Amino acid sequence: MEKLVIQVYAFTNVDEALAAAKMGVDHIGFVAGDYGLVPGELNLLEARRLADALIGKAARVALTMATEVDEILRMADTVYPDVIHISTDVEAVGTEAMEALRRRLPEEIRLMKAIHIADESSLQLARRFAPVSDLLLLDTRVEGMPGIGATGRAHDWRLSQRIVESVPVPVILAGGLSPENVAQAIRIVRPWGVDSNTATNRPGDPVEKDLERVRAFIEAARAAARSEGRES
């Protein structure tokens, strides 16, 4: 099995992002696009500056709340991340739009589709979007909040485990993961990667990262991966 990938959101500060990469975060996530929808949004020039600072240090993952193919492509052309994270409501960027993005994006930019985990229908969604995605991210959606994720809430990991076992693309598990529960999540789900956002922020702050919490998340995840025989 491949080495566990650790992804952390949502960086707004270059120094914090570089520090996290040095600690061992594999995927540095940030929100590319100022829509007034989710915490930590950066305009495209700010996102580009952060992405450029991370070249060669970590994979740069740009979360977008855009729903139009051309707008997502404009973001990609400006920011040029390694991964584009489509975090809107699932059908807002449907399979046809995902296919169009894959055709028109440079091959080296990967597409990651967020799938909300709620019930059996989530399994069908994951299977439907896997063929048009390079990665899937399994996250939690809360009514009244835009898009998928950044809720700080976990979901049914058994459903996530079934998705990991049934789709042909790598899966990153998200949704309320913290230094305290990530080991259990890894043991149950056995994902390709794990993601943390709100649980590695400073308490009560929707944006500023707590680098000690980031370090604790990395250590807990790596220890769990070693116990599963994925890392030496």
| CATH number for 132 | 3.20.20.70
Residue 55's domain comprises 5-227
Q: What is the pLDDT of residues 29-86, one digit of tens each?
A: 999 999 888 889 999 999 999 999 999 999 999 999 999 999 999 999 999 999 999 9
> What interhelical angle do 14-23 and 44-53 show, nearest 10?
40
Omega of the bond leading into 10 within 30 degrees of 0 (cis): yes
Structure tokens at 79: 């920011």
Residue 110 within any structural domain of the chain? yes
- pLDDT-derived band at 146 (thresholds 50, 70, 90) equals very low
Burial class (CB in 10 A: 0-12, 13-18, 19+), 162: middle
Query: Mean pLDDT over all residues of the chain?
Result: 93
CB atoms within 10 A of CB 181: 14
Residue 11 within any structural domain of the chain? yes
For the cut 80, the answer to whether the pLDDT of residue 143 exceeds it is: no
Residue 232 within any structural domain of the chain? no
**What pLDDT sits at residue 207?**
84
Q: What is the pLDDT of residues 191-205, one digit of tens each?
A: 999 999 999 999 888
**Type of residue numbered 183:** A
d(CA 23, CA 21): 5
**What pLDDT sits at residue 220?**
98
Into how many domains does the chain fold?
1
Q: For 98-102, 105-109, 146-150, which range has the lowest pLDDT when averaged over its residues?
A: 146-150
Residue 62 within any structural domain of the chain? yes
**What pLDDT sits at residue 206?**
80
For the cut 50, the answer to whether the pLDDT of residue 144 exceeds it is: no
Nearest to 186 by CA among 211, 218, 212, 210: 218
- Helical H segments across 24-175, by residue range: 44-53, 69-79, 95-104, 120-129, 157-166
Residue 150 within any structural domain of the chain? yes
- Helical H segments across 57-135, by residue range: 69-79, 95-104, 120-129
For 131, the 3-state DSSP assignment is helix
Q: Against a cut of 0.85, is the pTM above it?
A: yes
Residue 101 within any structural domain of the chain? yes
